[in-house]
A = this chain, B = another copy of it.
């Protein structure tokens, strides 16, 4: 199947449309986005393959999606941990954090140690609004993710990648190619540099908004909140 890509600027405008004229709250959208992420984890790595999922969350909405996903993963029977080195000040992120703490989900501080004991890593550090360059402490964190031997699922974009032009030419992230990627609402242009399993999630796109931005409504099946989409040899979706 073919899915058109959404630029960083259009992705921001689309979210604004969903909230200003669409009647959605950020709570709602983030709940559905994080739920999609959790279902992608389940697809690529069911609990029978290992329950320790490390979710690395960035300071913005991508990190919020990771926090929501971790809660759902707990309910699916995983034992998630969170690494959240720069916690967003937003009241919503604080509430999502409270939800996790009430489930006794640990917020870890020793990243190398946590990677060693995890079976899968969720990269929820930066999403479509990432403009680079990486600021401390993220160059080191990306380096550690890049050299990890466990599979990685990136949320919306591999963190450190430019949303248009893909992986950085050098430094942390230059060789980062996660095993799986979940694009939220629609793929971002950098997906053309991506090779691996690719999912789309965020089942709230209306036909009206899809038309406005020249997007396709993904062909989700049944009650699924996530759809696996292919990438061909030329990187076309």
Spell out A's residues near B (CB within 8 Å). Answer: 21-25, 27-28, 31-32, 35, 38-39, 42, 71-72, 75-76, 92, 94-99, 102-103, 203-204, 206-208, 220, 222-223
B27-A76 in contact (CB<8A): no
B contact residues around A102 at 8 Å (CB): 21-23, 206, 208
In the bound assembly, the distance between CA atoms of A24 and B207 in angstroms comes to 30
Tell me how many chains of this kind the complex includes. 2
Q: Is B28 a contact of A76 with CB atoms below 8 Å?
A: no
B95 engages A24 (CB within 8 Å): yes
Q: Hey, which chain B residues are within 8 Å of A22, CB to CB?
A: 98-99, 102
Sample 11 A-B pairs with CB under 8 A, ordered by A number: A21-B98, A22-B98, A23-B96, A23-B97, A23-B98, A24-B95, A25-B95, A27-B28, A42-B223, A72-B203, A102-B206
B38 x A223 contact (CB < 8 A): yes
Given contacts A23-B94, A25-B95, A72-B203, list 6 more A-B pairs with CB under 8 A.
A22-B102, A23-B97, A27-B27, A31-B31, A75-B203, A75-B204
Partner of A95 from B23, B96, B222 at Cβ < 8 Å: B23
B23, B24, B99: the one contacting A23 at CB < 8 Å is: B99
Q: Name the CB-closest residue of B to A97.
A: B23
A223 to nearest B CB, angstroms? 5
